[in-house]
Amino acid sequence: MSAPLADSFIERHREQILAGLYEFVRFPSVSTDPAHGSDMAACAQWLAAEFSRIGLRGEVRATRGHPAVVAASPFRSERPTVLVYGHYDVQPVDPEALWTHPPFAPHRDGDRLYARGASDNKGPLWAHIKAAEAWMEQTGEVPVNLVFLVEGEEEVGSASLPEVVRELGRDRSFRCVVVSDTLMAGRDRPSLTHGLRGLAYFEVRLRGPNRDLHSGVYGGSVPNPATILCQLLSTCLDAETGRIAIPGFYDDVRAVSPEERAAAAALPFDEVGYRLELGLRGLVGEAGYSTLERRWARPALDVNGLFGGFQGAGAKTIIPGEAGAKVSFRLVPDQDPRRVDQLFRAYLAAMCSPYVDLEITTIQAGRPYYLPVGHPLIQLALAAIRDGFGVEPAVTREGGSVPIVQAFKEILAAETLLIALGLSDDNWHAPDEKFELSNLWRGIRTMVSLYGRLAS
Amino acid sequence: MSAPLADSFIERHREQILAGLYEFVRFPSVSTDPAHGSDMAACAQWLAAEFSRIGLRGEVRATRGHPAVVAASPFRSERPTVLVYGHYDVQPVDPEALWTHPPFAPHRDGDRLYARGASDNKGPLWAHIKAAEAWMEQTGEVPVNLVFLVEGEEEVGSASLPEVVRELGRDRSFRCVVVSDTLMAGRDRPSLTHGLRGLAYFEVRLRGPNRDLHSGVYGGSVPNPATILCQLLSTCLDAETGRIAIPGFYDDVRAVSPEERAAAAALPFDEVGYRLELGLRGLVGEAGYSTLERRWARPALDVNGLFGGFQGAGAKTIIPGEAGAKVSFRLVPDQDPRRVDQLFRAYLAAMCSPYVDLEITTIQAGRPYYLPVGHPLIQLALAAIRDGFGVEPAVTREGGSVPIVQAFKEILAAETLLIALGLSDDNWHAPDEKFELSNLWRGIRTMVSLYGRLAS
């Protein structure tokens, strides 16, 4: 019954569905930039009104940070309750000069919709909202008690989310959570993700002399924080083995099972295509693991940014007073970001020159997530994806972090179904982000089916 | 004979000497600011007229940039020819609000004359001009063929200077060059600088993936140019010994002689004061050398700037598409910046991951300069300074580079005498620049003596 319901809804409302998504992506809802505070509030308000319009009582919940939007279909106690999570905040647009079209002026090119946030996460969230609208419009109700939680702080660490989740959990228990904030295995290869990496993200800052010094007059006689920063960060990774060199770091890393290694190896992953698409001459990583295993099931260390001293054209002969880096770890079961935090701080403190000031700031932390493939919820979600896409979905893990998934598990005791609608070339966090509209339509069909199946 | 000559001249013309210097510093000759183009021309014209007034035929030489002023005493072929170099351009005055008095309205407070350019370089240059005038007035001639070259682009890179120097060298050969554009060792401690370090300044840029990537999705499977940059730069310096780790780098480094080590050790250098003034807990550098030796006589490597990836507040979870650094070497005799260029490029190419693109750009290169203390010119200059100041001068080297000194050596085959008249608290390039008039009078006496001694 769900497929005709979805198809009929899409058929009749295609242009309105697109127009609404265009409106949604026009909001420059950049959560990390204080200058966009009022845009965040306006976006939340608009979204709450949209929920109310389709019959799901929408409300804006104030938090200590950016507001969250909560909406719920009319409650009936005999039905299971399902939480749909998404986020309306987006990444910054810099470097804006690299965008072909203005990032907040949606530009459609055939099946592609270009805009910041189109794929991360406004487009996929839109598929859920429109699936709820389809049920409401065609049957007057949604077959489960559907609760939407759309946060405005996903890109900045979801600091306020746990409190909102705790409020939701106070008077409801949830059968499960559904999230579409992951990437498909390929253009016609939908996927269900049963594992996510965790995150520990830091800023490391070294301070040397009390001002920038003339490098001719002083060079060779004073500690240079930029030079020392390079030395310090280089000690964290073994360039030979690709392993993180911090003692104890691998203690809690769960081995990848032979079954999972076989399943990953059986996926049609095109390593050469992956490399060429990224413009790389070669791939690197931890010795003894495949590229998919390195991305999904093994931890990683990355320097996300470097700064300090002179960055302009030409020469300025200074020893900078300070230098810094953004450094992050991706974590896997059973690593705990708090333990990684301790290990990293202790290691840097031990390795750093005593003649510069070392300041480490923890910016984000999130646990890894893992649900076994045999779980009934996984099997039910796979059936819904088959309904929506008409093909066999891939069962995957992902390298990224969705810290809230762990929060749902801890606070609501609910597992999360991660159903991907984005593509790996959608340019998340990069210029020219896009969403493919075929995945909007297939997403609506999938979610219409999923809500129906979760009712039984 | 020179001391009475100078004293008598100063005695009778003190007020006119000061009035002339006041006029000189009133010109807002800021070379970097196009708005001051006509002030530059007016200052050059005024200076040329001043030279002609005292009997040294002055002329303004047009260049592609700001004009240079050239002046010469009547030529007699049996005499040695001496070049005096100075510059009439000054640094910008910003932040102007921090000046106690307007920067181009000279303000006298006892021995101190406050004005932009008073010490860098108009005051010291004035001592040379007035010494020439003293000889002319009292004897009708200068005992050497004295050629002045006063440029208007010292603060902006001296782009036009080599051409003017080549012209001067075409029909004359010079016994030596005299420059007063350095700093004294202390308030009553004049100094002669006999060595300068050279420079090789590079930009190093690594390119990895063809765009910034999501560090969750890709982390652990692709080469990260920021991480690799840290590893690469850290291999250039041995953190234990403080020595540059590039093979062959020290091949051409001349050992510091026992005599020079003893002389440096005898200088009243306050290492604790140096460290405290810079706000440092400790000093570092090449093992086995003192701080002064590390600054003056040993090479150094500094990272002058780091850039790449995310530099803002908070977190952005990316693997940057590229990262880079400004890296420079200070060179000592007998290093050649061209050889260092080759060694550095070969080393980085050998050490760098083959999976990122390595781009190295040479931005500046200058040879070190060194004249042995036993050289007759040094001994002659020291005697002149004793005459002028009445105290024993310090014989020093400097860690910085004065590229024009190498130009004089290469183009004119002439050595340069660097006789300091400025003080380290004269606020060069900063608000409230001042020149101490006692150094004007002692400078005139020194140069009157020097010109006399160079004649013999």
Query: CATH number of the domain that B135 lies in?
Result: 3.40.630.10
pLDDT at A268 over 90: no
pLDDT-derived band at B77 (thresholds 50, 70, 90) equals: very high
Asked whether residue B426 is domain-assigned, the answer is: yes
Give the one of A201, A314, A318 whose C-beta lies nearest to B315's C-beta: A201
Residues A13 and A33 occupy one common structural domain: yes
Cβ pair B330:A223 closer than 8 A: no
The rounded distance, in Å, linking the Cα atoms of B148 and B73 is 9
Asked whether residue B55 is domain-assigned, the answer is: yes
The rounded distance, in Å, linking the Cα atoms of A451 and A56 is 15
Report chain A's mean pLDDT, rounded to a whole number: 95
Give the one of A284, A311, A318 whose C-beta lies nearest to B223's C-beta: A284
Residues B337 and B435 occupy one common structural domain: no
Residue keyed to tokens 């000889």:
B135
The pLDDT tens digits of the residues spanning A116-136 come to: 999 999 999 999 999 999 999
Residues B238 and B90 occupy one common structural domain: no
Residue that finishes a domain, picked among A316, A333, A366? A366
Chain A CB contacts of B317 under 8 Å are 199, 201, 304, 328, 400-401, 429
Cβ pair B309:A308 closer than 8 A: no
pLDDT at A1 over 70: no
Provide the pLDDT for residue A316: 86
> Which residue is closest to B201 within chain A, CA to CA?
A315
Cβ pair B317:A32 closer than 8 A: no
Asked whether residue A279 is domain-assigned, the answer is: no
The rounded distance, in Å, linking the Cα atoms of A73 and A75 is 6
Residue range A244-252: mean pLDDT, rounded = 98
Range scoring the smallest mean pLDDT among A270-279, B236-245, B374-383, B393-402: B393-402
Give the one of A201, A221, A235 whose C-beta lies nearest to B291's C-beta: A221
pTM attached to this predicted model: 0.82
Chain A CB contacts of B295 under 8 Å are 217-221
Asked whether residue B264 is domain-assigned, the answer is: no
Q: Total structural domains in chain A? A: 2
Residue A255: phi, psi to the nearest 5? Answer: -65, 150
**Neighbouring C-beta atoms of residue B155, cutoff 10 Å:** 20
Identify which of B375, B367, B366 has the alpha carbon closest to the alpha carbon of residue B417.
B375
Cβ pair A220:B399 closer than 8 A: yes
Residues B88 and B184 occupy one common structural domain: yes
pLDDT at B62 over 80: yes
The answer to whether B82 and B145 are in contact (CB under 8 A) is yes
Q: Which residues contact B15 (CB under 8 A, 6 or more apart)?
A: none
Nearest CA distance, A222 vs chain B (angstrom): 5
Identify which of A151, A124, A129, A160 has the alpha carbon closest to the alpha carbon of residue A142.
A129
pLDDT-derived band at B85 (thresholds 50, 70, 90) equals: very high
B contact test, residue of A196, A221, A432 with most B CBs within 10 A: A221
Cβ pair A280:B222 closer than 8 A: yes
Residue that finishes a domain, picked among B325, B350, B365? B365
Chain A CB contacts of B219 under 8 Å are 197, 295, 300-302, 328, 330, 399
Nearest CA distance, A54 vs chain B (angstrom): 34
Name the β-bridge partners of A113. Answer: A108, A435
The rounded distance, in Å, linking the Cα atoms of B30 and A60 is 58
Cβ pair A237:B219 closer than 8 A: no
SS3 call for B214: strand
The pLDDT tens digits of the residues spanning A160-195 come to: 999 999 999 998 999 999 999 988 988 999 999 999
Q: How many residue pairs bridge chain A and chain B with CB atoms within 8 Å of each other?
A: 311
Provide the pLDDT for residue A373: 85
Q: What percent of chain A has pLDDT over 70?
A: 100
pLDDT at A403 over 80: no
> Which residue is closest to B275 within chain A, CA to CA?
A222
Q: What is the SS3 string spanning B59-121? A: EEECCCCCCEEEEECCCCCCCCEEEEEEECCECCCCCHHHCCCCCCCCEEECCEEECCCHHHH
Give the one of B231, B283, B307 whose C-beta lies nearest to A239's C-beta: B231
Chain A CB contacts of B204 under 8 Å are none
Helices (H), B243-398: 258-266, 271-277, 291-296, 337-351, 376-389
Give the one of B280, B294, B306 whose C-beta lies nearest to A309's C-beta: B306
Long-range Cβ contact pairs of B133-138 (< 8 A, separation 24 or more): B133/B9, B133/B54, B133/B55, B134/B5, B134/B6, B134/B9, B134/B10, B134/B444, B134/B448, B135/B5, B135/B448, B135/B451, B135/B452, B136/B54, B136/B55, B136/B56, B136/B73, B137/B9, B137/B54, B138/B5, B138/B8, B138/B9
> Which residue is closest to B298 within chain A, CA to CA?
A220
Residues B179 and B219 occupy one common structural domain: no
Nearest CA distance, A110 vs chain B (angstrom): 24
Cβ pair A300:B227 closer than 8 A: no
Residue range B34-44: mean pLDDT, rounded = 97
Cβ pair B215:A323 closer than 8 A: no
**CATH number, domain with residue B361:** 3.30.70.360
Cβ pair A278:B222 closer than 8 A: yes
Q: What percent of chain B has pLDDT over 70?
A: 100
Provide the pLDDT for residue B319: 98
Chain B CB contacts of A223 under 8 Å are 280, 282-284
Cis peptide before B95 (omega within 30 of 0): yes
Nearest CA distance, A98 vs chain B (angstrom): 10
Chain A CB contacts of B398 under 8 Å are 216-217
Residues B296 and B373 occupy one common structural domain: no
Nearest CA distance, A258 vs chain B (angstrom): 20
Asked whether residue A186 is domain-assigned, the answer is: yes
Cβ pair A317:B304 closer than 8 A: yes
Chain B CB contacts of A214 under 8 Å are 400
Residues B420 and B320 occupy one common structural domain: no
pLDDT at A248 over 90: yes
Residues B8 and B149 occupy one common structural domain: yes
Residue range B91-112: mean pLDDT, rounded = 94
Report chain B's mean pLDDT, rounded to a whole number: 95
The rounded distance, in Å, linking the Cα atoms of A113 and A100 is 13
The pLDDT tens digits of the residues spanning A362-381 come to: 999 988 999 888 899 999 99
Residue range A409-419: mean pLDDT, rounded = 94
Cβ pair A224:B363 closer than 8 A: no
Residues A349 and A305 occupy one common structural domain: yes
Does the structure's ipTM exceed the value 0.90? no
Domain range holding B214?
Answer: 199-254+289-365
Cβ pair B304:A316 closer than 8 A: yes
pLDDT-derived band at A456 (thresholds 50, 70, 90) equals: confident
Cβ pair A328:B319 closer than 8 A: no
Asked whether residue B281 is domain-assigned, the answer is: no
Cβ pair B307:A311 closer than 8 A: yes
Residue that finishes a domain, picked among B365, B388, B410? B365
The answer to whether B310 and A305 are in contact (CB under 8 A) is yes
Long-range Cβ contact pairs of B140-143 (< 8 A, separation 24 or more): B141/B73, B141/B74, B142/B56, B142/B73, B142/B451, B143/B79, B143/B451, B143/B452, B143/B454, B143/B455
Residues B125 and B242 occupy one common structural domain: no
Cβ pair B355:A282 closer than 8 A: yes
pLDDT at B1 over 70: no
Residue range B337-341: mean pLDDT, rounded = 97
Identify which of A197, A188, A185 has the alpha carbon closest to the alpha carbon of residue A420.
A185
Chain B CB contacts of A157 under 8 Å are 314-315
Residues A192 and A208 occupy one common structural domain: no
The answer to whether A165 and A412 are in contact (CB under 8 A) is yes
B contact test, residue of A227, A329, A330 with most B CBs within 10 A: A227
Give the one of A234, A285, A400 whose C-beta lies nearest to B214's C-beta: A400
The rounded distance, in Å, linking the Cα atoms of B12 and B21 is 16
Chain A CB contacts of B330 under 8 Å are 215-216, 219-220
Residues B15 and B162 occupy one common structural domain: yes
Cβ pair A310:B303 closer than 8 A: no
The token duo for B435 is: 């020149």
SS3 call for A191: strand
Asked whether residue B203 is domain-assigned, the answer is: yes
Cβ pair A323:B300 closer than 8 A: no
Give the one of A197, A309, A353 whose C-beta lies nearest to B304's C-beta: A309
Provide the pLDDT for residue A374: 85
Asked whether residue A51 is domain-assigned, the answer is: yes
pLDDT at A274 over 80: yes
